[in-house]
A and B are shown apart, each in its own frame.
Chain A
C-alpha cells in the first residue's frame, strides 16, 4: 500500500490539472464552509455534479479537497459570527467568538487552522494504518455480514442523532423506501413507480442530496423576519506567540485521537467528536472555569478533533462502504456515479484509486493550512456578502447541478420537492441526513439481504448463525434500545 501511495503522490504532483483541482477545491471548500447557512455537506452536494464530467480520479481529487477544506471552513464563521458553518464547528464558537470579540480574531483563526491541519494529519495517519487492516478483515465478510453492517450503520446514525433517535429512525426508513423506487436490480421489475416512466429509473441520490442539504438551507435562510448577521471583519495580528502555540500540542494530540476514533464509528459524525474532545479538555484542565471565555485550549482541541474526524470517517467508508457521516454519504454517491463501489473489494481491484483518495486528502489538508493562513482576511470580507446574492447563486447551482445528472427536468423537480421536504423536516426537528443515508445504503442492504436469503433458501437464521452478522445485529438492537431504556430510567 505504501508503495502505491508513493506512486500516486508522484502522479498527482506532476499533473497540472490535479494540482489546479486541488487548489480550487480547497479554496472553494474554505469559502463555502465559512459561509453561514452553507454546510460542508451542502458544499459537497452542490458541487457533486461538477465532478461528473471529470474522470473518477480527478472527480475525487476535487471532491476530497472541497470536503477537507470545508470542514475547516466552518470554524471561520464560528469564530467571526458565532454561527458554526459546519456541525463540527459547534464547539469552536464557544471560545472562538469570545476571543474574536476581545480583538484577537486573527489569533483565534490561526489556532483553528493550525489545529485543523494537525488533526487532519493524525486522522490521515490512522486511516493509512487501520484502513488496510480493516479492509483485509472485511474481505472475509459475506452477504449476511454486509447486510448486518449496513443495518448497524443506519442504527448508529439514528442513535447518534441529537434530539430524537426515533425521528432519525423514521427518516432512515423513509430513505430506505425511496431507494426501492424504480426497477429492482435483481429482477428488473418496477416497484413503487405508479406507472411513471421517470420513476422507473429510480430516485437519484444526487438531486435528493442537493435538495435536502442545499435547497432546504436556502429556504431556511430566506424566511420572513430573518435578521442580518453581524460579522467581525477586523482581523489584526494573525500569529500568536510561538510559546503559546507550543504549549497546546498535548491538547491537539488528544483532540485528534478522539476525533479520529469517533469519526471511524459509522454515522457518529464530527459533532460528537468535537463535543467529547472539548469536554475532555475541560475536565482535565486546572482552570475549567476559563473555558467559554475565549481561551486557545477551547479552540485547539475541538478543531483538531473536527479535522481528524475526516480521516476517521473515511475508514468505514473505504473499508466497509458505510459512510461515516453525511459528508461521506455524498462521497459514496460520487463514487457510485463513477462506477466505483467503496468497500473491501476496492482495495483489491482498485488499490490505485484508494491510494489516490489518501493522497488527495493529505494534499488537501496541507493546502488548506497554507491557503487559509494566506486568505483569512479576504474570506472574512466574503462573510459579509449580502444574503440575497449568496442564496440566489446557490439556488441556481442546485438547479443546474440536479439537471446535470441525467439532463432531465424531472431530477430538478425531485430536488425542489426534497428541498421543501427537507425544510419542513427541519421545522419539525426531524433529522434529514438519515434520508440520504437510507437512499445510499438501501440498495446495499437489500442486495445483501436478498442474496443471503436466496443462498440460505429463505432461512432467516443465516443472519444469526454467522458471528459477525450476529454481533452487528445485537449492537444495532442495543443502540436502538438504549435511548428507550435510559429515558424510562430517567422517568423513574
Chain B
C-alpha cells in the first residue's frame, strides 16, 4: 500500500512539474509580441503548434495532478509511514553531486582546457565511485585509476581532435 502511496506522490510532483512547464511555455508565447501578431486562422503561423501542444500538455498535467491528489487523499489515512524505507533521499545525493560537478566541468573547460579539466574530473569520480563501491583502494587500484584516467583523457583527445577533427578547448 505504501508503494502505491509513494507512486501517487511521484505522480503529483510530475503533474505539478508539467503544469509549471506549461505555464513557462505559455508565458514565453504570450510575452512575445512579434509571435502573437501572426494570424493563425486562415494562415497557420508559427504560434499555432506551440499553443496547441501547450494546451494539450496543460490538460494532461491538470488531469495527472487532480488524479494524484484524489488518490492521495483517498488513501492517506491508511498508510503514513514507509515500512521498508524505500524512498531513500541519500540515493539521489551522488547523482546530484555528479551533475553539479559536470556543470562546473562544462563551465571551466573553455578556461583551463580539455585535458587538465577532464583529468581532474575523471580522477575525482573514479576514486569517489570506487571508494563508495569497494572501500579504500589498494595501491594496485590507485595505480590503475591514475593510468586509466591519463590514458583515457589523452586517447579521447587524440580521437576527437586528430581523427574526427573536432576542436576541443
Give A193 to B31 CA distance when docked, in angstroms. 11
Contact A191/B18 with A53-B166, A388-B130 known, Cβ cut-off 8 Å: no
Give 16 CB contacts A-B under 8 Å.
A180-B50, A191-B29, A191-B46, A224-B91, A224-B94, A226-B133, A388-B130, A388-B145, A399-B105, A399-B118, A400-B160, A409-B106, A409-B110, A416-B106, A445-B49, A454-B43
**Do A458 and B41 touch across chains, with their CB atoms under 8 A apart?**
yes
**Do A187 and B46 touch across chains, with their CB atoms under 8 A apart?**
yes
Q: Which of A403, A412, A413, A449 contacts B49 (CB 8 A)?
A: A449
Give A393 to B126 CA distance when docked, in angstroms. 9
Q: Which of B48, B121, B127 contacts A450 (CB 8 A)?
A: B48
- What secondary structure prevails in chain A residues at the interface with B? helix
Contact A396/B153 with A173-B56, A191-B29 known, Cβ cut-off 8 Å: yes
Shortest B70–chain A CB gap in Å is 15
**B156 interfacial contact with A, CB 8 Å:** yes
Give A174 to B49 CA distance when docked, in angstroms. 12
Shortest A402–chain B CB gap in Å is 9
> Quick check: which of A255-263, A366-374, A422-430 contacts chain B, the rest being far away?
A422-430
Q: Per-residue 0/1 for B116-130: is the Cβ within 8 Å of any A Cβ (1 yes, 0 no)? A: 001001100111111
**Do A224 and B132 touch across chains, with their CB atoms under 8 A apart?**
yes
**B165 interfacial contact with A, CB 8 Å:** yes
**B4 interfacial contact with A, CB 8 Å:** no
A170-B61, A392-B129 are known; give 8 further A-B pairs, CB within 8 A.
Answer: A49-B164, A173-B56, A187-B38, A189-B34, A219-B99, A223-B95, A396-B153, A409-B106
Q: Which of B10, B56, B156 contacts A396 (CB 8 A)?
A: B156
- What secondary structure prevails in chain B residues at the interface with A? helix
**Do B46 and A186 touch across chains, with their CB atoms under 8 A apart?**
yes
Shortest B137–chain A CB gap in Å is 10
Q: Give B67's nearest chain A residue, CB to CB.
A: A166
Interface pairs A-B: 7 shortest CB-CB: A388-B129, A184-B46, A219-B95, A458-B42, A428-B10, A404-B166, A388-B130
Q: Give A402's nearest chain B residue, CB to CB.
A: B106
Which bucket holds chain B's interface residue count?
35 or more
Q: Give A398's nearest chain B residue, CB to CB.
A: B102
Give A429 to B109 CA distance when docked, in angstroms. 34
**B143 interfacial contact with A, CB 8 Å:** no
Within 8 A of A (CB), among B1-37: 7, 10-11, 13-14, 18, 21, 25, 28-29, 32, 34-35
**Do A224 and B93 touch across chains, with their CB atoms under 8 A apart?**
yes
**Do A192 and B106 touch across chains, with their CB atoms under 8 A apart?**
no
**Do B121 and A409 touch across chains, with their CB atoms under 8 A apart?**
no
- The residue among B46, B47, B149 with the most chain A CB atoms within 10 A of its own CB is B46
Shortest A272–chain B CB gap in Å is 24
**Do A391 and B129 touch across chains, with their CB atoms under 8 A apart?**
yes
**Do A223 and B94 touch across chains, with their CB atoms under 8 A apart?**
yes
Q: Per-residue 0/1 for A420-459: is the Cβ within 8 Å of any B Cβ (1 yes, 0 no)? A: 1001000111100000000000000110011001100110
Within 8 A of B (CB), among A159-216: 166-167, 169-170, 173-174, 176-177, 180, 184, 186-187, 189-194, 215
**Do B60 and A189 touch across chains, with their CB atoms under 8 A apart?**
no
Q: Which of A222, A407, A423 contacts B166 (CB 8 A)?
A: A407
Q: Which of B95, B105, B126 contacts A423 (CB 8 A)?
A: B95
Give the residues in chain A near B54, CB-CB below 8 Å: 177
**Do A191 and B103 touch across chains, with their CB atoms under 8 A apart?**
no
Contact A219/B164 with A191-B46, A224-B132 known, Cβ cut-off 8 Å: no
Q: Which of A193, A392, A429, A445 contacts B122 (CB 8 A)?
A: A392
